[in-house]
């Protein structure tokens, strides 16, 4: 079973390096959204729905359901796929479910990007300067310096354009309207990762409400923020591994239950076969179902005759 990791903004697949070092899996595939560590194809719009369709197409190429993990923009894209194409997934996990809550308001920086003029100035500053200067700006927001340095090398004007296009397409009420379909994500097991110090993706109440609507479990990472996967990769890996292992145990239990059920006669037949008997007759059915008769004749006085029941044909046909 392949694990697919999808990064967000202003990142590349390098954001997952510390987590991958902790995961006990050799089947990990990292996908970077166009503009965020991957080239932007001609005509690609960098909108919420464009990223959803891009990820669905990438997963279709794998040919089997995956364990999908998304962060930031990659997280909202992962849930959009879970709502629209659950057949592509075995499980999903994401850290920013709160953005789908009806009461969610975008953080200050996102509102700048959504504002013509102010947004262009903001991304020019964010994506400008030397790689070292860009790295220091991310460190100031809570990212460890080694990872920030790797991400800064890939940042630039093209990523800035992708930021503007995505956040302007995601301006409310766009995300709240998408959130109306959250119950559809319950078709596959989900995990809401809640970093208690993450202030970009809504309150904990918003995230928990959205998790409940999506039928998702919750993993609370106390003291971790927006970049939980680099702040404490070992604890983050344990949360994901525990979730995946739980799904494996649930599937095994279901398979055993189905095998046991297949080996038993239908419930009505089991109740009939367990019926207490006396010579030549049957006691009344405890549930009052059917009419039980066992006539005695001279030739069968000392034998138990075959019962005759008024039961559905589907049960008598196999007797």
Q: Give, for all 319 residues of the chain, the pLDDT tens digit.
A: 899 999 999 999 999 999 999 998 889 999 999 999 999 999 999 999 999 999 999 999 999 999 999 999 999 999 999 999 999 999 999 999 999 999 999 999 999 999 999 999 999 999 999 999 999 999 998 898 999 999 999 999 999 999 999 999 999 999 999 999 999 999 999 999 999 999 999 999 999 999 999 999 999 999 999 999 999 999 999 999 999 999 976 665 554 555 444 555 555 444 444 444 444 443 444 444 333 333 333 444 444 444 444 444 433 333 3
Contact 159, 39 (CB under 8 A): no
Q: Residue 3, SS3?
A: strand
| pLDDT score recorded for residue 1 | 81
Residue labelled with tokens 């504002």: 115
CA distance 104 to 201: 8
Buried/exposed 102-117: b ≥16 CB within 10 Å, e otherwise:
eebebeebbbbbbbee
CA 79 – CA 74 distance, rounded (Å): 9
Nearest to 287 by CA among 262, 305, 267: 267
CA distance 110 to 82: 24
- The partner residues of 69 in beta bridges, in order of sequence, read 5, 93
Domains of the chain: 3-256 (3.40.50.1820), 267-316 (no CATH)
> Please, which residues have CB within 8 angstroms of residue 2's CB and are 6 or more apart in sequence?
27, 28, 29, 62, 64, 66, 67
d(CA 56, CA 48) in angstroms, rounded, equals 13
By C-alpha distance, which of 231, 230, 199, 193 is closest to 95?
A: 193
- Whether the CB-CB separation of 45 and 71 falls below 8 Å is answered with no
Q: Is 194 exposed, middle or buried (0-12, 13-18, 19+ CB in 10 A)?
A: buried
pLDDT attached to residue 221: 98
- Rounded Cα distance, 190 and 211, in Å: 8
**According to the model, what pLDDT value does residue 263 have?**
54
Residue 141 pLDDT? 86
Separation between Cα atoms, residue 318 and residue 11, nearest integer Å: 64
């Amino acid at each position: 079973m392949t694990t697919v990791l999808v990064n967000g903004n202003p990142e590349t697949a390098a954001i997952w390096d510390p987590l991958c070092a902790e995961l006990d899996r050799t089947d990990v595939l990292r996908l970077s959204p166009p503009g965020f560590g991957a080239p932007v194809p001609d005509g690609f719009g960098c909108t919420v729905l464009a990223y959803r369709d891009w990820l669905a197409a990438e997963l279709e190429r794998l040919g089997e359901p995956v364990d999908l993990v998304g962060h930031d923009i990659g997280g909202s894209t992962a849930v959009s796929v879970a709502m629209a194409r659950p057949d592509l997934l075995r499980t999903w996990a994401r850290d920013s479910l709160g953005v789908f809550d009806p009461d969610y308001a975008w953080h200050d920086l996102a509102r700048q990007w959504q504002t013509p003029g102010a947004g262009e100035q903001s991304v020019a500053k964010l994506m400008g300067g030397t790689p070292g200067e860009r790295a220091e700006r991310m460190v100031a927001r809570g990212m460890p310096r080694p990872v920030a340095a790797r991400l800064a090398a890939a940042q630039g004007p093209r990523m800035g354009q992708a930021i503007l296009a995505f956040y302007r397409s995601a301006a409310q009420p766009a995300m709240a309207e998408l959130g109306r379909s959250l119950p559809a994500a319950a078709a596959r097991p989900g995990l809401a990762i809640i970093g208690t110090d993450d202030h970009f993706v809504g309150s904990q109440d918003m995230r928990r409400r959205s998790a409940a609507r999506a039928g998702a479990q919750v993993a609370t990472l106390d003291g971790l923020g927006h970049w939980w996967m680099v702040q404490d990769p070992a604890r983050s890996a344990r949360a994901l591994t525990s979730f995946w292992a739980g799904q494996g145990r649930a599937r095994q239990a279901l398979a055993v239950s189905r095998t046991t059920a297949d080996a038993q006669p239908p419930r009505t037949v089991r109740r009939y076969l367990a019926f207490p008997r006396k010579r030549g007759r049957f006691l009344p059915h405890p549930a009052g179902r059917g009419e039980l008769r066992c006539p005695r004749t001279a030739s069968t006085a000392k034998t138990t005759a075959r019962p005759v029941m008024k039961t559905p044909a589907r049960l008598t046909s196999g007797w």
